[in-house]
Amino acid sequence: MEQNHGLLIVLSGPSGAGKGTLCQELLRQMPQVKYSVSATTRQPRPGEVDGLHYFFRSREEFQAMIEQDQLLEWAEFCGNFYGTPKFAVEQAIHAGNDVILEIEIQGALQVKKRFSQGVFIFVVPPSMDELAQRIHKRGTESEEIIQKRLKTAARELEYVSEYDYVVINDEIPIAVDKLKSILVAEKCRVKRKPYVFQGV
C-alpha cells in the first residue's frame, strides 16, 4: 500500500461557525498541514492580504481560471465566486503534505466526487443565535450581507450528512483537539489508499 500521499481535508460550515479560527489554530499546531489559498472575486476585508488569505481576482480573471481548468472546484457564494486552484493542492498532496481546504458546501461536494478519499469535516456553531452574534461581532459585513449569510447558514446545515465528521465549535481548544484527533485517526486507516486525481 502506498503511504506517501498526504490527506486532503475539506472543512466546511456556515459563515461565522469559526472555521477560519479553527483552521489557523490547527495549522499552528500541525505545521505539516498546508492551507490551500483560494481565489475569490470578493473584495478584501481590512487586513486581508492577496496571496495569503485569498487570491483576489476580478470576475474576468476568475472566469479565465475556470476556462483554463485551473480550479479543482468553484462555486458562487452570496454573490461572489470562490475556487480552489488545482496546482498547489496536487503538488502538496503528491509531496506527502496534508492539505486543508476551507470551502463552502457546493465546492466540497465537487471535491467529494473527485477525491473519494478526502476527509470531509463540517464545523457547526453551538446554535443559530450564537452564529448570528458571532457574525455581528466580526463587524466586517453590512446588515444586508449578514442576513444573507444567516439564511445561507440555515440551508447549509442541512448538508451535514454529506460529511464524514461534524465538530461543534463551542470552545476553540476543544474543537481544535477534535480536528487533530480526526486527522490522526484518518492517518491510521488500514484502507487509506493513494489519491487518484481524475483528469490529471
Among candidate residues 31, 45, 84, the one with its CA nearest the CA of residue 62: 84
Shortest Å distance, C-beta 1 to ligand 5GP: 30
Residues 114 and 198: beta-carbon distance below 8 Å:
yes
CA distances, 102 to each of 1, 23, 122, 190 (Å) = 29, 8, 10, 26
Shortest Å distance, C-beta 32 to ligand 5GP: 21
Which residues contact ligand 5GP (rule: CB under 6 A)?
Answer: 15, 19, 38, 42, 73, 75, 77, 82-84, 102-104, 106-107
Distance, in Å, from the CA atom of 111 to the CA atom of 72, rounded to the nearest integer, reads 7
The whole-angstrom distance between residue 122's C-alpha and the CA centroid of its chain comes to: 9
Amino acid occupying residue 61: E
Nearer to ligand 5GP by C-beta: 185 or 200?
200
Task: Report the sign of the C-alpha dihedral through residues 30, 32, 36, 42, in that order.
Answer: positive
Shortest Å distance, C-beta 96 to ligand 5GP: 23
Shortest Å distance, C-beta 80 to ligand 5GP: 7
Shortest Å distance, C-beta 172 to ligand 5GP: 17
Distance, in Å, from the CA atom of 109 to the CA atom of 75, rounded to the nearest integer, reads 10
Nearest residue to ligand 5GP on Cβ basis: 107
Nearer to ligand 5GP by C-beta: 42 or 94?
42
Nearer to ligand 5GP by C-beta: 159 or 177?
159
The whole-angstrom distance between residue 169's C-alpha and the CA centroid of its chain comes to: 15
Nearer to ligand 5GP by C-beta: 25 or 104?
104
Nearer to ligand 5GP by C-beta: 6 or 14?
14
DSSP state letter for 50 = B
